[in-house]
Structure 1
């Protein structure tokens, strides 16, 4: 896979990374976990050049970091990976949920962050994390305090670089006043383009990596769901507005158009959707998630798909999806 860097001056990574959340969290939670296959997927991703491996302490909670740690401890894979994790969301039933992270509560207190990095390192079986990200800004804690605690982890050698997730340009600037911001992770796909207005251009100008999560619209843009009945009964996507029966039918028009373009360029719908995301900037590194080998190979193939300007223009003109993100 062709490579890029994690922002200006950052380590080399493949242009597509791997999001590990779905291996233990949120999607199809009633199914029996297949950790052996998930570990094989992580290994295959790195072998394919998808070296940015993304997890978070809240996924599970904790089980995702443990799984990633086990995978990377095998056969030298840790040295080949750029390992990213996150802090700042806490799984807490009965707490006040984050609008953008149902079921989780924000916690950006410095003392919590100082404790959490040590816990993450233990679960990940490593002495340092290559990228430590503030999962969400806690409105009750100034971002300068949260990011300052993360900067302490850099000074202590526990973390190499620090980044943010789901933030505004103003919040990025406030964090930059404390410590260099290596990355910003936010949702970006053919049906979620909010970040293109201000955040992606600012990151491009500043040499900050932009890491799109859900670049396949939580699997929808790959053409895998034509009805809410295609989703497992305990899958959290069933609660999302875009996956309701009345909206999912309307949103099929987007997938149908992507499928036509895919047939024309000799790719799959997933590859076209990812190739469009890759075209949004030098340091845009999408992290599609999968726990399935065939989908991993499909995603990796997007790195070699060439879209013409006319293809990109057609994708730019796709209709706005029915329903909000959350």
Structure 2
């Protein structure tokens, strides 16, 4: 799988990961355990490593932690989660709970979810980073109304990662936030790479462009992800899924040629 460099450390990160919202917020039984284990197998087999979760996602952290105990330890994984509460003590308790649920002594990335009380939580995250318990810190959001505050954080506060929405139908981040993150040396995780959910449904009603074969794309999902990855500021896209076939399809965007300028133009006109 293609990789991109995390500016803070020059560590290489595979460009397709997985988001666990909804898809992993389940009660595990034998059927769901097999299905979601196969999702992670598909990610790891393709060379992906990043699994993104949050306390906001219900049972997802616990499900991820449980499934990873059944995975071969040799499989590389990059665990990302979030703090999503107000107040220092509440934040500390929630982060410690994430360590327990994910069944790990080190979390690769902890992000302040939707900027909630970020001024309070970022010092806590820095202390944990200095102690070696987390490796990177960051912030997240997914709505345009928060972009001004996201920009303020990027301009004033050292962080390692920004997680933001970006897709063929939600392109506002490319105006200021993505160039700013690139300039500030901040890695970018792309959430909502398929937009609000209607994008793929609309596109699947149409035939693939004839040039899709030139970039090794066999689905609209792969073309949508190749659009996201075309932006140089994007480090990794994290489409959410609880289906092995979708995970396999998504990872297919991380190999083969990227889009040409002409193809990008045609793709954006299509949507």
Partner residue in 1 for 2:47: 49
Indicate conservation of the 8 Å contact 1:131/1:163, yes or no.
yes
Q: Using a 3 Å threshold, how does the CA distance of structure 1 residues 198 and 3 change in structure 2: closer, same or farther?
A: same
CA contact (8 A) 1:72 1:78 kept: no
Maintained 8 Å contact 1:187/1:195: yes
Aligned residues: 261
Shift of 1:172: 5.2
Matches within 5 A, 1:54-203: 54-60=52-58, 63-77=59-73, 80-88=76-84, 107-138=85-116, 141=117, 143-166=118-141, 168=147, 170-171=149-150, 173-174=152-153, 177=156, 180-203=158-181
Structure 2 residue 212 is matched with structure 1 residue 265? yes
CA RMSD of aligned residues (A): 2.6
Aligned to 2:246: 295
Unaligned runs of 5+ in 2: none
Report the Cα offset of residue 184 of structure 1: 0.8
Distance 1:52 1:7, change over 3 A: farther
Query: TM-score, normalised on structure 1?
Result: 0.72
How far apart, in 1, do the equivalents of 2:128 and 2:189 lie? 21
Q: CA deviation at 1:122?
A: 0.3
Q: Report the TM-score, using the length of structure 2 for normalisation.
A: 0.85
Contact 2:24–2:36 (8 Å) recurs in 1? no
Structure 1 equivalent of residue 17 of structure 2: 17
Aligned-residue offset at 1:38? 0.6
C-alpha offsets along residues 160-187 of structure 1, whole Å, 9 cap, x if unaligned? 1100001536545546755x31111111
- Deviation digits for residues 205-262 of structure 1, max 9, x if unmatched? 1221111112122553333xxxxxxxxxxxxxxxxxxxxxxxxxxxx3x6656x442x
Q: 1:221 is matched with which residue?
A: 199
Name segments (4+ residues, structure 1) moved above 6 Å: none
Instruction: State whether residues 222 and 269 of structure 1, in contact with CA within 8 Å, keep that contact through their aligned partners in structure 2.
Output: yes
| Structure 1 stretches lacking a partner, 5+ long | 89-106, 224-251, 320-326
